[in-house]
Chain A
Amino acid sequence: MGEFDRARFRGLTESRMSRRSLLRGALAGAGGIAMAATLAGCSIPGAKANAAAQQVDWAAFWKHQKPTRQLNFANWPLYIDQDKGKYPSLQLFTKATGIAVDYQQVIQNNAPFYATVAPQLRAHQDIGYDLVVMTNGWELTEMIDNGFVMQLDHSRLPNFAKYAADTVKNPPYDPGNKHSLTWQTGFTGIAYNKKLAPKKVTGFHDLLDPAFKGRVSMMNDNTELGHAGLLAIGVEPTTSTAADWRRAAAWLKKVQPNVAGYYDQSYIDKIQNGDTWLTQAWSGDVFQAQANGATDLEFVIPAEGQMVWHDNMLIPMQAQNALSALRWMDFYYTPEIAGTVEDWVNYVCPVPAAKDYILHELDDPDVANSPLVFPDAAVDKVTHNFRVFQSYDEYEEWNSIFNPVIQA
């Protein structure tokens, strides 16, 4: 009996290796090693390699551009005047120049948009848009440094020189406006629902209030979130250090029990629905919501300060209709058109002369006299700029500190 059991035990536990299965295994293994060896030679090219490769004579380039009758414009949502699905300013442009505009609101955030277009730009492909709008952050710096965007021909942009505000001329992230013109400037502050919130909100410290548990939303953009944290702990972002960033992240973690979610532009949807009562917000979004009937919302400049950023128009390389893009840029920088757009968008207008246009022609004193659309010195005092990252490693460190706050 004992012999039999041992034999059975052996039979149960030993694997049966026939010659066929051995052959199959060896073949699979050899194939795997061969494939791995081939793939070892593969690599994914980086963005920097592109910059050195392109040396363009811009004067000659613009001279040889032929005018076209099409413009493909990629922008953020809620960023142009709308009238039940039609865009009046774009219609005026088409009437004046005969150029048809395909306007797509495909940019939800800088990082995902950059991640989509960078591989194509690296491969010198047309991304399908002649005009894109990006915020002055790390992604914009990369677009310029990697040679992904065209240099502008300022001889075709007389209106910019004539009408643009001083704050948008020659910015530190794009000296001489070689590659970009500002589309809108905006503030990032706080918005709250006056009716549903239990108390009045005045600053970032209110985010910690347990009365708002589960009703706070913040942005899922690393840059916006991190800067909010820095302001909340009283640190000037442009001179902050990595230690400051860690303290800011710790503060943000303290807020986390109150936070319902970290959203991209969908935050405005949530606060209008009443899902959240208090949120980090972009100034123009809140005003547009108010104009559309959400009269319970209010935008607040936090006591600790607010951020200012510029969204800039860029022309990607390999754009098919570069001249059309330039024409739109010039067309936009007039009091009439900038005013028309501004009256709807309610961010900070890059054309100061538009204030009169809005006040008199469009008869909208609320917008014209708002310090958050045409800011005065008092607002400038509490406004801070984004930190400019010097290298990818610095940006990566910032990300590694603030990503775990969002990805909880």
Chain B
Amino acid sequence: MSAVMTDAPATGRAPEPMRANRPPKQRKRPFLPIFFWVFLLITLLPIATMVIYSFNDTPTNRITFHWHGFTLYWYQNLTQVQGLPQAFLLSVAIAILSAVISIVLGVPLSMALERYRFFGKSAISATVFADIAAPSIVVGAASLSFFLSTSIPLGFWTVLIVHITFNLAYVVVVIRARLSGTGTQLEQAAGDLGATPWVAFTKVTLPLLVPGMIAAGALALAMSIDDYVITSFVAGPAVTFPLFVYGAAKVGLPPQVLCFGTIIFVIGLLVMLLNGWLTRRGQRMR
């Protein structure tokens, strides 16, 4: 008979067993921790390599194995590699724009899909699923075929269009999950208190969705900045950061690419840590 307190697993987490009830013989089972840490280190190895070699003082413009000495030269000369800063800025611009537009398009669509039944709902739902599940190669190839046969010139706008298209699916999935989690009691309560559907939406639903929108926006940003396959098909002359890196990787990466990668990594890490710290602070204050 277990004496463990089992509150209803609202968070789905296993409640901590009380110390008195732990079985007396706790065999050390080191396999799993060792396995975990070994593979975790393997996943982090390329990142460590990137960070370390961004400080390598190579005589040429390409990264090499030999350690020539520590230097900040590459960080000080980030703009030296022509095309790289522009590619980076272009990626950031497209990421922000596509995230914002896909949220604007996606939030109403999610509300319609989650809260209503209507003709065409299953079709649209299936289309959103297909948008996520479809392999990038097929989506990129199809988009290129479309732009070619309609003579739309390839470049910034076509890249933006395809980024919005795949971000839309991610946004819809995230927001739908949030909406189904919160339920409609609050909106119904607002209606009971005399609010019109529009007021209920702006004053009740929208504020509730803000964390969801931030999460969806962050996901969209990340997916957009990192996208290589789809972008390579429709970019034409435009060069985004992943496209630049792929092209340079064939001949030998200039160290500034590693610098940019390190910078993005550090910023992302700080944001995640900040987010975690804020969440924990919020939970503690409750």
Asked if A and B form a direct contact in the complex, defined as CB atoms under 8 angstroms apart, the reply is: yes
Which residues of A are found within 8 Å of B251, using beta-carbon distances? 77-78, 105, 108, 265-266, 268-269
> Residue A378 at the B interface, CB < 8 A?
no
Which residues of A are found within 8 Å of B254, using beta-carbon distances? 85
Say yes or no: A128-B237 contact (C-beta < 8 A), given A42-B150, A120-B154.
yes
Question: Contact at B149–A127, with CB atoms within 8 Å?
Answer: no
Question: Contact at B250–A104, with CB atoms within 8 Å?
Answer: no
Which residues of B are found within 8 Å of A263, using beta-carbon distances? 250
Which residues of B are found within 8 Å of A269, using beta-carbon distances? 62, 250-252
Say yes or no: A104-B83 contact (C-beta < 8 A), given A120-B237, A266-B251.
yes
Question: B74's closest neighbor in chain A, by CB?
Answer: A85
Instruction: Name the one of A43, A106, A127 contacting B239, with C-beta atoms under 8 angstroms.
Output: A106
Which residues of B are found within 8 Å of A123, using beta-carbon distances? 151, 153
B263-277 vs A, CB cutoff 8 Å, 1 = contact: the mask equals: 000000000000000
B40-66 vs A, CB cutoff 8 Å, 1 = contact: the mask equals: 000000000000000000011110010
Question: Contact at B77–A85, with CB atoms within 8 Å?
Answer: yes
Question: Contact at B61–A42, with CB atoms within 8 Å?
Answer: no
> Residue B82 at the A interface, CB < 8 A?
yes
Which residues of B are found within 8 Å of A120, using beta-carbon distances? 153-154, 236-237
> Residue B247 at the A interface, CB < 8 A?
yes
Which residues of B are found within 8 Å of A77, using beta-carbon distances? 251
Complex formed: what's the CA distance from A116 to B153 in Å?
A: 11
Question: Contact at B151–A106, with CB atoms within 8 Å?
Answer: no
Question: B239's closest neighbor in chain A, by CB?
Answer: A106
> Residue B81 at the A interface, CB < 8 A?
yes
Question: Contact at B149–A119, with CB atoms within 8 Å?
Answer: no
- Interface size of B as a range: 20 to 34
Which residues of A are found within 8 Å of B149, using beta-carbon distances? 39, 42-44
Complex formed: what's the CA distance from A364 to B153 in Å?
A: 49
Question: Contact at A292–B59, with CB atoms within 8 Å?
Answer: yes
Instruction: Name the one of B60, B80, B153, B252 contacting A86, with C-beta atoms under 8 angstroms.
Output: B80
A262-287 vs B, CB cutoff 8 Å, 1 = contact: the mask equals: 01111011000100000000000000
B188-207 vs A, CB cutoff 8 Å, 1 = contact: the mask equals: 00000000000000000000
* Cross-chain pair count, CB within 8 angstroms: 63
Q: How far is the CB of B104 from chain A (nearest CB, A)?
A: 27
A221-242 vs B, CB cutoff 8 Å, 1 = contact: the mask equals: 0000000000000000000000
Instruction: Name the one of B81, B236, B237 contacting A85, with C-beta atoms under 8 angstroms.
Output: B81
Q: How far is the CB of B228 from chain A (nearest CB, A)?
A: 15
> Residue A103 at the B interface, CB < 8 A?
yes
> Residue A125 at the B interface, CB < 8 A?
yes
Instruction: Name the one of A44, A45, A85, A119 contacting B154, with C-beta atoms under 8 angstroms.
Output: A119
Question: Contact at A45–B250, with CB atoms within 8 Å?
Answer: no
Question: Contact at B80–A85, with CB atoms within 8 Å?
Answer: yes
B119-157 vs A, CB cutoff 8 Å, 1 = contact: the mask equals: 000000000000000000000000000001111011000
Q: How far is the CB of B283 from chain A (nearest CB, A)?
A: 47
Say yes or no: A119-B82 contact (C-beta < 8 A), given A45-B151, A292-B59.
no
Question: Contact at B80–A119, with CB atoms within 8 Å?
Answer: no
Question: Contact at B153–A292, with CB atoms within 8 Å?
Answer: no
Which residues of A are found within 8 Å of B82, using beta-carbon distances? 102-104
Q: Which residues of A111-146 have CB atoms within 8 Å of chain B's CB atoms?
A: 116-117, 119-120, 123, 125, 127-128
Question: Could you pull out 19 A-B pairs where Cβ atoms are within 8 angstroms?
Answer: A43-B149, A45-B151, A77-B251, A85-B77, A85-B80, A104-B82, A105-B251, A116-B236, A117-B237, A120-B153, A120-B154, A120-B236, A123-B153, A127-B237, A263-B250, A265-B251, A268-B251, A292-B59, A293-B59
B contacts, CB < 8 Å to A: 59-62, 65, 77, 80-83, 148-151, 153-154, 236-237, 239, 247, 249-252, 254
Q: Other than the known A108-B251, A119-B148, what 11 A-B pairs have Cβ atoms closer than 8 Å?
A: A44-B148, A85-B77, A85-B80, A85-B81, A86-B80, A119-B154, A120-B153, A120-B236, A264-B250, A265-B250, A266-B249
